[in-house]
Structure 1
């Protein structure tokens, strides 16, 4: 076998060693040059310091919100106590004024210590600023690439800014926990004073947090914070900015924290602003803008006066309903540890899941929590907190005029206008009657007020009922809607077909929520949003023409130059104009003589208005939507958990829980002439041949299919009875307790949640209260 040749081994020459050693820094330099394009540009650094957040304005020029990147108030270096700067430089970067972004000696020493197992940071203040300003571009991973990016960015910052500007920017951008960014918000959060008033001890405490804000949190970890504070003070002594004798005195003093979380100003329409921010971010991304830095000025459709009145109406009614809820859920009656519902709520709590880890078994965990009075009190407060939502829109344009998503955004940020889906109850009924009109029926058609049984799949039977027993008399469709008759509406749904009702609801504006085409949909079994329902009623108020909701009219830059302008979308015909007018006229009856009569009697609204109340089973949801030719207002009241109700049949109905919010706002809008008190819904002129043909066919159809009256009996000599007016429905207290919907237990098809509604005929109107009023006052009193 042939052996491999033996090559002689030679040691590298001095020239080869020199080239090899020179190649290392050359490769490092090349790598740095490659990284430069991947670090923030100088223009971006300037923008970060001079960022101008988007300003959101109402229709009338009032500020609604500022879209800041963080909760920060920028202060100049001359407004910051000198002790803060002294503590910062002494602790974080004592050669700050001697380097140009990178402290080579400190970097080398940290490298040596790290290799020895004692990991230390060597970042200068400028490097920390680069990391704080650009966490995404630079990153947080402990890698060489990140350190090089950080150093390159630091050099750029040093080339652009003076040392004073770097200190000012750093102290205004560093985070201090609890949504506090910058030294000013930190001073307010931990010591309830401005940054210029901080003492040496307070300055050392805040600077000490920078090593690890959570670890040295003075609220949760006071011992660690105190020790770190004293370390900062010792560093100040070491760097000659604090006398040793002063340090001996100061290190013995306690922290004396005066903590108060600094919340961002929510503005008058926080839920509206929250939804608008999402839309604006999308628009800005598509058009190469930044909502936090480019000084955008966004003009919205919101009316500041209507928004203020809406906030007041929701707050006032929320307090009233909360008192009723508290009375109904007291410990003796509703909130009883023996209650199955209360026990279920306890089992669903995070505290119960935590207790399972330490308790011997589930029963022991439950028993311990049920006996914990403080926990049970907190749980009851959270679960029985009344919530509400209100939305007002211009039906002609779809412009949003007022938006209240909850009683208090700081307590509950969940938006009950756009996010919450709840069963609408009888506010869904107009879609059934609208579909009936589309099929050729008219408001004066009659249906018997009688018990109804509807067979469902799997042998199930649905038996809707009303507050009072069926009269057996015929009732017009207009009156059935005005008095919110469950039985007649359910029977009408069978005539029309659920698919047609779903189709109409979709066309009118219920376009996001799924609608289950089952018989119970007639009474509002499918959950929807308040925004969808108000939009659908707005379509009716707009003569059957659908308008997409809009909330922005134009966007300008900081100099007032127009960047974008928005107009109402092209309308879509959802319902024939004449049929839409007839349906609105039927809903006038709800206000004039039906379940919404309080709008006129209690709030003195004399204008041409129409609307509908709604209540779901157990009074879990109360709804009311009111239509005016220039404004549609809808409100919902209930609880976040649909298993919770007011436990009060009187106040739980939509006519008493939701209607007051709408009535309060609308009355003020009329009184202030925000909307015209004399505006009316105008019937379309149906002079086209197809309208006349349709009316003729409808009349002929009724003539063909209406049964003839029985022939008189010649043997009978009894005189014919004198004509009598239709027997009025029994007069019951307004919005009496809704009746139950009874069903045979479901075995196949899932039954929707039972839905009920006030179906009580109300007292007749007094003279002058009907529509149209003889002389509507310009400023009706509520």
Structure 2
């Protein structure tokens, strides 16, 4: 529709004329309409403020509780790091200081102090900005930061006032004070007066004296500006202002005021670290999942008292935590020796690269320093360099265990320490899997009719990649010229045999099978070297894929939650694993599993039996990537599949040729875990796979023969570095399996142009 501007222009001109030259009648009508417009605006905003129902349950909000399958608490999903304290258990000095400073007419108003609001408005118009919010209005902002907001706008003030009136209609004055003091933030992840008292004065809230109370209440005007740790002079000045307010409103005698204001600030600071449960990385992953579920079902994970029942077994989780810690601490001793100050200093180019990757370097360059100046300045800082070395050379590990029969995640360890290493090496980290990827190659061959007895010659292999590039995988010691069966090719992890098998089935088939079996989020490059695990994947994907092998080739999506209940025990939703998807024919899966039994019986994973004394029906695979960047080991048992990864966050940091191998870095974690699980009868040591055995199950060790956890002395092969002494009890510490290989460990193949550079050593 076309607008006739010749008609609109006169109308606009008349409106402008009346605005420029208003009549008395027009002014009177405008003034009369103003309250109506304001009232209308307020009514419009009411639906955009918290409901009475939400306000009623805000004080009694209950965070979601996460329980293990055996009913042990794993986590509590609090909105913040706070400890709710009743008003009767808070020092009366705190309450006196709060009311005297923030809202001295608190008991006279009903949420809005109109006199104070008007006074604040007048001062603001005069250029002296003042706050006019009551304690109740401040509580409205603290409880509902998203719905009320903190912007300095009229809309926010109106929404804040509406919410304050609602709060006053629901809560008593004592309840308002209690709620306010338990929700106000105090920096350093401390919410509420109890956590503030512990953080700044190392005492509970009921023991705070007048000076300490005034200091904490003084922070409310600006927690950072009046931070007593970083800005003690400002904190003292603000504390004395609070004391003066207390004296003004008869909460403090004038005689005491002068002496108290002269006293120095005494802070006993200790940051309060939120308690982590036994499976913090699992809990962090689950929190994100639960938030999505709650949003879809109109629940609040911080307030509605949800009870989440998970698949984690607390006994297995404890065993996993212990196994990861002990092996990682042991390997850290090795890393400290290999990357000590002298060795670190010798790697000048690499160290300079590490420095350039820091935020401190970026700040230095942004300030105007040249690259050389920034490097010189930072490298001359001994504390900075020591911290950089320790952080960069900190051994990392991940571990996860699943029940292959139903996909239940039974244990999850994302790193050595969640507080220090929150990055999750189970779900988030993608690393090259090395030889742990080889079962997909052999599985694809068995699916196409190959037999474990089929043979290839261990010879030099050259695979054209196009454009003149050639991939030449190799093994330590070079090709032997022997005829090797597919069974031995996988058992002894021979790269040249695996590469030839890959040629027969093709990368597309291998990638397709890997995706069907469980590698469903990571991208797989369709190149020949995929056979040796060059495409990064997650540990969770690999353990899920091995669970498919253990489940006769049927993939079951990993699941973590079995049921969600409300606070009264009513079941809100139950979860069951999806129908299994046959990723690999049963016969092929059973053939593959039986071949992988040989890895444990006589191959690169033999330490499971010789060192840890495990005589159960198990199968698995080791893996080591180029330059010992990543060490892997995954073990399958009919009731449990578990895998571990060991390495460093920066792949330029590695361990030596002995300790860096998966059989010596990752296998001990899984071995120790399984040993405990079997000995504790958490899983049945008599359970057997349905897959027929080509060779009999090895006999268990003699009763008087020491096994890994009981031995008190380690024997290292000639030339192997002994484990560093970490102070752990020799009787309890898990042993590193030091079994000689049946064949030499695989050598790293030279990467061809355009092909991912990786290899497997085991």
TM-score by length of 2: 0.89
* Residues 321-332 of structure 1 aligned to structure 2 (within 5 Å): 321-332=331-342
5+ unaligned residues in a row in structure 2: which ranges? Answer: 1-17, 694-738
Residue 209 in 1 paired to residue 219 in 2? yes
Give the aligned length. Answer: 698
TM-aligned CA deviation for residue 360 of structure 1? 4.4
Write out aligned runs for 1:69-108 (5 A).
69-108=79-118
Task: Please give the per-residue CA displacement for 1:431-489, whole angstroms capped at 9, x wherever unaligned.
Answer: 11111112221001111112212222221222211123322110111011000001111
Deviation at 1:33, TM superposition (A): 2.3
- Residue 670 of structure 1 is matched in structure 2 by 678
Instruction: Show the counterpart of 1:567.
Output: 576
- The alpha carbon displacement at 1:532 in A equals 0.3
Deviates further, 461-470 or 540-549:
461-470
Match of 2:480 in 1: 471
Query: Does the 8 A contact of 2:748 with 2:761 survive in 1?
Result: no
Superposition pairs of residues 748-763 of structure 1, within 5 angstroms: 750-758=754-762
Contact 1:653 1:735 in 2 (8 A): no
* Alignment root-mean-square deviation, CA: 1.8
Question: After superposition, what is the alpha-carbon deviation per residue over 1:665-719, rounded to whole angstroms, capped at 9, x for unaligned?
Answer: 111111111111111111389xxxxxxxxxxxxxxxxxxxxxxxxxxxxxxxxxx
Distance apart, 1:737 and its partner CA: 5.9
- Say if 1:337 and 1:343, in contact at 8 Å, map to a contact too: no
1:554-597, Cα deviation, whole Å (9 max, x unpaired): 11111111111111110000001011000000000000000000
Q: Does 1:682 align with 2:686?
A: no
1:293-372 map, 5 Å: 293-333=303-343, 335-336=344-345, 339-358=348-367, 360-372=369-381
User: CA separation in 1, counterparts of 2:292 and 2:23?
Assistant: 64
Structure 1 residue 32 displacement after superposition: 2.0
| SS class of match (1:280) | helix
Instruction: Find out whether 1:742 has 2:758 as its counterpart.
Output: no
Aligned to 1:274: 284
Shift of residue 751, structure 1, vs aligned partner: 2.0
CA distance in 2, matches of 1:378, 1:71: 28
Indicate the structure (1 or 2) with the bigger Cα radius of gyration.
Answer: 1
SS at 2:552 equivalent: coil
Matches within 5 A, 1:253-652: 253-333=263-343, 335-336=344-345, 339-358=348-367, 360-646=369-655, 648-652=656-660
SS at match of 2:345: coil
The answer to whether the 8 A contact 1:649-1:736 is kept is no
CA distance in 2, matches of 1:732, 1:193: 57
Task: Tell me the distance in 2 between the aligned counterparts of 1:481 and 1:296.
Answer: 48
Matched, 1:241 2:251: yes
Moved more, 464-473 or 390-399: 464-473
What is the DSSP-based 3-state SS (H/G/I as helix, E as strand, rest coil) of the residue aligned with 1:528? Answer: coil
Q: 1:735 and 1:255, CA in 2 relative to 1: closer, same or farther beyond 3 A?
A: farther
Instruction: Give the Cα–Cα distance (whole angstroms) in 2 for the partners of residues 544 and 446 of structure 1.
Output: 24
Partner Cα distance (2:282, 2:274) in 1 = 16
Distance, in Å, in 2 between the alignment partners of 1:621 and 1:93 is 60
Q: Is the 8 A contact 1:620 1:643 kept in 2?
A: yes
- 2:68 aligned residue (46, 51, 58): 58
Give unmatched runs, 5+ long, in structure 1.
Answer: 1-6, 686-730, 759-782
* Structure 1 residue 393: Cα displacement: 0.1
Aligned counterparts, 1:700-719, within 5 A: none
**Would the aligned equivalents of 2:603 and 2:741 in 1 still touch at CA under 8 Å?**
no
CA contact (8 A) 1:175 1:182 kept: yes
Q: 2:152 aligns with which of 119, 142, 159?
A: 142
Structure 1-normalised TM-score? 0.87
- Deviation sequence 1:34-73 (CA, Å, 0-9, x none): 2222221111111211111111000000000011111111
Q: SS of 1:625's equivalent?
A: strand
CA shift, 1:228, in A, is 0.6
Q: What is the deviation of 1:735?
A: 8.7
Counterparts in 2 of 1:17 and 1:458: CA distance versus 1, 3 Å: closer
Any idea what the Cα deviations from partners look like across 1:223-270, whole Å, max 9, x if unmatched?
111111111111111111112221211112222111111122110000
- Greater shift after overlay, 89-98 or 733-742? 733-742
Return the alpha-carbon distance in structure 2 between the equivalents of residues 350 and 737 of structure 1.
40
Give the SS at the match of 2:467: helix
